[in-house]
Structure 1
Amino acid sequence: MHKPHVTVAAIVKKNDYYLLVKERDKFTKKICYNQPAGHLEDKETLAQAASRELLEETGLTLAPMGLIGIYNLHAANGVHYLRFCFMFDGENIDDEPIPLDNDIISANWHTVEHIKTLPLRSHLVLQCIEDSQARPLQSLDFIYDD
């Protein structure tokens, strides 16, 4: 039976900057940039997973404001991902992000124009940012958690 990998991603915006993490792609071994993101864990809601990944990869504790979108990706590495992308408000963040996860090299703020020049983990990194600018957020109530 086919089972896609359920992942979450955190879009954090502060003024005109978006938070990305610098990491090494486990498939290609190349340095790339991604939103704070990762896999859903047992007994965790999607929103909780997004907040946990944000904390682990940036040291920031925030709650999501809403859902940007759901993305179905058949990646080049042969893995099927079902990605839930959440929006976080970074306007009141004064501290520099400090990754707690050893797999994260750094976490930094970037403009959209700069992000377009970076080696991205997937095209969904930019797609989710663009969608966050163009779409209304879905309420977290949109997701039923049992």
Structure 2
Amino acid sequence: MIERYKPNTTVAWVVESPKGFLFVEENIRGNLQFNQPAGHIEAGETLIAAAKRELLEETSLDLDPHGVVGIYQFPNQDASVIYLRFCFYATVDEALPLTPIDPAIHACHWLTRAQLDQQSLRSQFVKTCTDDYLAGKRYPLELLHCQMP
């Protein structure tokens, strides 16, 4: 019998301000790495509810997504886990100072795309999602159909 495929479903954000894009600096096994605000969906959550919760926990920012940048399927570094990432986007009028609620988040940063190239990244998809957004890949939230009991 073939083992059932169960990717880890995650949500992420591209948030743009006049000062750049929002990234979190997180402690991953003792190393500080940059990522978009992102995380796993919890039982009973819709994709949008999970995205809003993760953004709030990691940055203290309470936003509704404006749309979807893309849906990404990729393995972790040793290919032992496969992720299915739903990336949302929003824009804000000013780059407010933010305070992480999640203790795993060391700090929040507003960075330009060029500044992102100088950072240690959690995965290549931090750049991929940002680049897709900059390339105009933006889809309406109606792309998603979420029905939870």
Per the TM alignment, residue 16 of structure 1 is displaced from its structure 2 partner at its CA by: 4.7
1:20–1:36 contact (8 Å) kept in structure 2: yes
How many Å separate the matches in 1 of 2:139 and 2:5?
28
| Identical counterparts, % of pairs | 38
**SS across alignment from 2:106:** strand
Q: Give the match for residue 74 of structure 1.
A: 75
TM-score by length of 1: 0.93
Which residue of 4, 12, 36 maps to 2:15? Answer: 12
User: Do structure 1's residue 22 and structure 2's residue 25 form an aligned pair?
Assistant: yes
CA contact (8 A) 1:40 1:46 kept: yes
Q: Return the alpha-carbon distance in structure 1 between the equivalents of residues 49 and 85 of structure 2.
A: 14
CA distance in 2, matches of 1:88, 1:101: 21
How far apart, in 2, do the equivalents of 1:136 and 1:4 lie? 24
The structure with more radius of gyration: 2
* Unaligned 5+ runs, structure 2: none
Q: 4+ residue runs of structure 1 moved beyond 3 angstroms?
A: none
Matched, 1:42 2:55: no
8 Å contact 1:37–1:50 — kept in the other structure?
yes
Kindly report the root-mean-square deviation, in angstroms, between the aligned alpha carbons of the 2 structures.
1.2
What CA deviation, in whole Å up to 9, does each residue of 1:53-73 have, x standing for no partner? 000000010000000000001
Give, in whole Å, the separation in 2 of the partners of 1:62 and 1:35: 14
| Structure 1 unmatched ranges of 5 or more | none
Amino acid at match of 1:15: P
Paired residue for 2:131? 130
TM-fit CA distance, 1:79:
1.2
Give me the whole-angstrom Cα distance separating, in 2, the residues matched to 1:8 and 1:73.
13
1:69-110 CA deviation, whole Å, 9 max, x = no partner? 0000111142100000000112245x3111000110000100
| Structure 1, 64-73 or 135-144: larger mean CA deviation | 135-144
Q: In the alignment, is the contact (CA less than 8 A) between 2:70 and 2:137 conserved in 1?
A: no
Report the secondary structure of 1:42's partner residue. Answer: coil
Q: Residue in 2 aligned with 1:54?
A: 55
